[in-house]
């Protein structure tokens, strides 16, 4: 099992930040539901922490810090997220086991999917809305393409 000590502070920060950015990518895909999406994100992190230790548990236990100035432009979020995910996966591939890299990939996609399903989009007063909007699905597909590389 790879431990936090295998990474320097900058690497660790990137490992922690990338999943949060992936979730924010989905949040930014559509307006509305931000509170529900944020709450679902917190629950998803809590589930990973409760499931046990390991590298993924340590990552989920570290509060992510995202530079908000980078995220003011909603148009920049997809590129920033892709860059962060590629960097994080590269770091993991150098320092962690293949099983840990795969668990990280699954964690990122689970967070994004949890956020996408947290709030129905469209409709009126929650009636007739879609579980996942087209723009959220597009974000999920883009994340899967990046993480699956």
pLDDT digits (tens, 9 = 90+) for 38-77: 888 888 888 888 887 789 999 999 988 877 676 677 788 9
Read off the pLDDT band of 117 (50, 70, 90).
confident
Sequence-ordered list of residues with C-beta below 8 angstroms from that of 62, at least 6 positions apart, any chain: 12, 16
* Cβ 119 vs Cβ 5: under 8 Å: no
The overall average pLDDT reported for the chain is 87
Nearest to 59 by CA among 5, 109, 8, 12: 12
State mean pLDDT over 25-38.
78
- 104 is in which domain, residue-wise? 4-148
Percent of the chain with pLDDT strictly greater than 90? 52
Read off the pLDDT band of 36 (50, 70, 90).
confident
pLDDT in tens, 90-99: 999 999 999 9
pLDDT score of 50: 87
Q: Is the pTM of this model over 0.75?
A: yes
Nearest to 75 by CA among 34, 35, 37, 28: 28
Looking at 14-28, 49-63, 101-115, which range is the least confident one? 49-63
Read off the pLDDT band of 134 (50, 70, 90).
confident
**Cα 120 from Cα 105, distance rounded (Å):** 25
pLDDT score of 41: 85
Quick check: 124 pLDDT over 70?
no
Tell me how many domains the chain contains: 1
* Cβ 115 vs Cβ 37: under 8 Å: yes
């Amino acid at each position: 099992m790879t431990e936090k000590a295998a990474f320097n502070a900058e690497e660790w920060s990137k490992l922690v930040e990338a999943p949060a950015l992936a979730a924010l990518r989905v949040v930014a895909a559509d307006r509305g539901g931000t509170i529900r999406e944020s709450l679902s994100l917190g629950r998803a992190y809590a589930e990973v922490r409760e499931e046990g230790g390991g590298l993924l548990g340590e990552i989920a236990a570290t509060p992510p810090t995202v530079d908000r100035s980078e995220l003011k432009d909603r148009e920049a979020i997809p590129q920033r997220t892709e860059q962060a995910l590629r960097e994080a996966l590269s770091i993991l591939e150098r320092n962690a086991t293949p099983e840990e890299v795969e668990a990280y990939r699954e964690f990122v996609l689970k967070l994004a999917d949890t956020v996408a399903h947290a709030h129905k989009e469209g409709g009126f007063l929650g009636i007739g809305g879609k579980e996942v909007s087209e723009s959220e699905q597009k974000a999920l597909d883009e994340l899967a393409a990046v993480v699956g590389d």
